[in-house]
Every structure is written in structure tokens, then in C-alpha cells.
Amino acid sequence: MALISVDRERGLLIAEMQGLDKLWTLKSRLEIPLAHVRGATHDPGIAREPKGMRVAGTYVPRVITAGRFRHDGERVFWDVKNPDKAVVIELAAGETYNRLVIEVDDPRATVALVEQSIVRG
């Protein structure tokens, strides 16, 4: 699971991996400029879609998808154990990842935070 926050002063969306997710994803934190965030959606069904090729991280089907994956030319960062809490954050071209698929404690609140932050920029 990850904590998503917004640093308005620095104009960043921050995803901080929690607990063992740091180990599974091989990342402890991602910082994305708000100007590169296109939007966010709550998407529990995404866990059933193909993941592509794991570049770095952990993948145990129906248990955990964590780390960097490549699928159909896209670079996707995953940190999901419970698909019901998966949020997809779409990013602009030129970012390290095309999208982030991250499990959060409260998907609705996270989507609202991201959407409000990019409107206000």
C-alpha cells in the first residue's frame, strides 16, 4: 500500500510506499510534478488485465503486483495486493512511467485529492 500526498509548494504528487511494499516495489517514494499528472481513477478491475513484462519488482498472480512493468510500449508502476483499493494515476508523456497503479487506503479520497490538485495545479 502507498500513501499519496500533494506538496503544493513544490508542485509534486508524492507516492510513499509503506512497510514491505518498499521491498516488493524496489522503491520507497515517487515524486511526480503535478503538471505531468493527467488524472486518477479508482479501478479495481485493472488487476485482471495483463501486466506485461516485469522489469523490476515482484509478481505473484492474484497475490501481489509490485514494481516496474512494460506492457504494449507503456511503462507502468504497480503496487497492488488488494485490487479493490487500486487507483490508476495517468501521467503525461515524458515521465518515467505512463501510469501508476497503486493500492491506497481510501481510493475515493485519493482520486479526489489528485483531481482537485491538478485542477488547481
Count: domains in the chain: 1
Sign of CA dihedral 67, 68, 70, 73: positive
Give the pLDDT confidence score for residue 94 in this predicted structure: 86
Backbone torsions φ then ψ of 23, nearest 5 degrees = -75, -50
Residue 69: the pLDDT is 97
CA-CA-CA-CA torsion sign (92, 94, 98, 104) = negative
Is residue 57 within 8 Å of residue 80, measured between CB atoms? Answer: no
Taking Cα atoms as reference points, which of 76, 2, 4, 16 lies closest to residue 46?
A: 76
Domain that holds residue 38: 2-120
CATH of the domain at 92: 2.30.29
Average pLDDT, the chain: 94
- The pLDDT tens digits for 61-106 are 989 999 999 999 999 999 999 999 999 999 998 899 999 999 999 9
pLDDT at residue number 120: 55
pTM, two decimal places: 0.93
Alpha-carbon separation of residue 45 from 50, 93, 101 (angstroms): 11, 24, 11
Which of 121, 113, 119 has the alpha carbon at shortest distance from 2? 113
Look at residues 13, 8, 11, 20 and name the one whose alpha carbon lies nearest to residue 110: 13
Task: List, for residues 40-67, the tens digit of each pLDDT value.
Answer: 999 999 988 999 999 999 999 989 999 9
Question: What is the percent of the chain with per-residue pLDDT over 70, rounded to a whole number?
Answer: 98
